[in-house]
Amino acid sequence: MTYHTETLDHLLDLEPLHAPRANPGYTVIHPLHDAPEAKCSADRLGPMKLTPGCRLALVAVRFYLVAIMVMGAYRVVTLMGTIKH
Amino acid sequence: MANPIDASKNAPGIQPGSGDFLSRTRVVKSPWMVRVLTFLMVFGPGLIVMEADNDAGAVSTYTQAGAQYGLKLLWLLIILLPVTYFCQEMVVRLGIATGEGHAAMIYQRFGKWWGRFSLFDLQLVNFFTLVTEFAGISLAFAAMGVSPWISVPAACAGLVTMVTTGSYLRWERITILLCLLDTAWLVLGWKGGFGAAQVARNGLVPSMPDGGLTFDYIFLVIATVGTTIAPWQLFFQQSCVADKKLRFKDLDASRWDTFIGAVFTIVVAGGMMLVGAILFRNKVAYTDPAQLATVLGPHYGRFFKSAILMLMVNASILGTTAVSLSSAWAWAEVKGWDHSLQLKFKQAPGFYLTYIGATMAAAGVVLIPRAPLQVIIVGVQVLAGVMLPSALVFLQIMLNDKELLGDPFVNRPWNNRVNWTIIALMFALSAVLAAQVLLPGLFPAPAA
């Protein structure tokens, strides 16, 4: 690809792809119009291998969710008047 | 990297050479024009996900913060800017690397149990959030004398039309325009007459309110944090990035898009706080944004009142389209349905029906006489508090999945240190907020 000296005319010179050009340039394609690229896929990887830190984080999430559910159940029970203060 | 995903399934695409100025394939002469054009083509998901978070709930929270504490919480917004950017930047990286949505990734990498938990919680909290958005629309239009039986169905129809056009770009551009309309909050905040030096000082220097550290203050801080970072944002932006087919080389431009969105959102949120602070300065009690508009209207003119009310509507519209789409994308991804805004209704009926169903159901709830809207608003806070920490943990773990992402996309060590700190903080704040709602007896009663 040829790199041109950046004059004001050249900077504003935007041409559609199909216009014949004397000099090559850089093609800019919108993502929606571009050819699909190979992405990272988990299809053949199986279950994720978790480090001890990750396992600990997931255990912490479970404890957190249990605590929230217990608080919620307590709130429902007190609202029903089953537990009076 | 494994075999390429069949991208043609969800986006038949447009032939190169067609399209408008920003979507047509071009040849340019200089590398910097490549960067500029690429950025303009990529720009959108970051701004939308950030600004759509300035929804009806955010308008209520930020104006309340200003009305109760003046400018004393502006510094919190500055601190939240990097927090929200770091969270969303991870989402962008994951979306570009995998080309898949967040819900689908959780199912694939964490299994069905966590996948179902995340999906179910997302759908529930999103539905309640949609109800609050339509409640905001109803409230704003009622203050303008329009019946909810007109405003809510009309808004619902507009939202459905906006999405079901079969063009991602058309939806994106309409939504970007709505986002940019929120700059009016800055005009309204400026009309409040606060000096630039005063705003800068309160934004950069943390300060306590005159009453000191109270539980009311702490809970408003937590509510502000919870408003600024919402679980649906993680799902929305990843799906949006995947639907827009962003490429590996778009990562830098997408990061800039996200950063600009974060700055824009924080600045607009500051504008909302400044508007609320007008009440604080005049020692007028705050009830809700519509009351704020009604009280300030006589002093600042009819335009001021109408502007606040229309901006409330705009915030609700933005929130509704983004939240509904995050639900529709997530559900369709997991079900394996075609799910792209580039597809016509007939090509992706499940995806569009999920969006339409969620929108119409939420609108319907608001129209029910004596609907328990306050319970729903509180429910949103609790469910979001349940979901956000776990969603962040999944995101953080996936961004350390070197087997899937490879070295280019995994977190760096400094990323991990920052992110785990943010996650720990979110756990603590969410737990306190949930406790305050579910166990109110543990905390002192709010000041009268």
| ipTM of the modeled complex | 0.83
Q: Where is average pLDDT lowest: B88-92, B238-242, B337-341, B425-429?
A: B425-429
Sign of the C-alpha dihedral computed for residues B107, B112, B117 and B123 taken in this order:
positive
Residues of A in Cβ contact (< 8 Å) with B25 = 16-17, 27-30, 33
Predicted local distance difference test score (pLDDT) of residue B242: 96
> By C-alpha distance, which of B73, B343, B90 is closest to B227?
B73
Whether the Cβ atoms of residue B380 and residue B61 lie closer than 8 Å to each other:
no
CA B265, B267, B273: angle at the middle one, nearest 5? 105
Query: What is the per-residue burial (b if ≥16 Cβ within 10 Å, else e) of B248-283?
Result: eebbebbbebbbebbebbbbbbbbbbbbbbbbbeee
Which tokens in the block code for residue B91?
């989402």
HSE of B280 in the Cβ direction (CA atoms, 13 Å)?
Answer: 23
What would the pLDDT profile of A64-80 be if each residue is shown by its tens digit? 888 888 877 877 777 77
**Domains along chain B with CATH numbers:** 51-442 (1.20.1740.10)
pTM above the 0.80 mark? yes
Cβ-defined contact of B439 to A75 (cutoff 8 Å): yes
What would the pLDDT profile of B306-345 be if each residue is shown by its tens digit? 999 999 999 999 999 999 999 999 999 999 999 999 999 9
Question: How long, in residues, is chain A?
Answer: 85
Q: Whole-angstrom Cα distance, residue B261 to residue B359?
A: 25
Closest Cα in chain A to B439: A75
What would the pLDDT profile of B254-300 be if each residue is shown by its tens digit? 999 999 999 999 999 999 999 999 999 989 888 888 889 989 988 88
Name the 3-class secondary structure at A16.
Answer: strand
Residues of B in Cβ contact (< 8 Å) with A52 = none
Cβ-defined contact of B24 to A36 (cutoff 8 Å): no
Which tokens in the block code for residue B96?
């570009």
Place of tokens 């920490």: B389
Closest Cα in chain B to A85: B441
Cβ-defined contact of A40 to B98 (cutoff 8 Å): yes
Average pLDDT, chain B: 88
* A53 band by pLDDT with thresholds 50, 70 and 90: confident
Q: Whole-angstrom Cα distance, residue B129 to residue B209?
A: 30
B42-48 mean pLDDT: 97
A10-29 mean pLDDT: 59
Cβ-defined contact of A16 to B26 (cutoff 8 Å): yes
Residues 118-177 of B with CB under 8 A from A: 168-169
CB atoms within 10 A of CB B405: 20
Question: Is pLDDT above 60 for A83?
Answer: no
Residues 174-213 of B with CB under 8 A from A: none
Whether the Cβ atoms of residue B245 and residue B9 lie closer than 8 Å to each other:
no
A12-23 mean pLDDT: 48
Mutate to test the interface with A, among B27, B35, B105, B252 (most CBs of A within 10 A): B27
Residues 229-288 of B with CB under 8 A from A: 244-248, 250
Closest Cα in chain A to B2: A41
Predicted local distance difference test score (pLDDT) of residue B147: 94
Give how far B92 is from chain A: nearest CA, Å. Answer: 14
Which tokens in the block code for residue B222?
């937590």
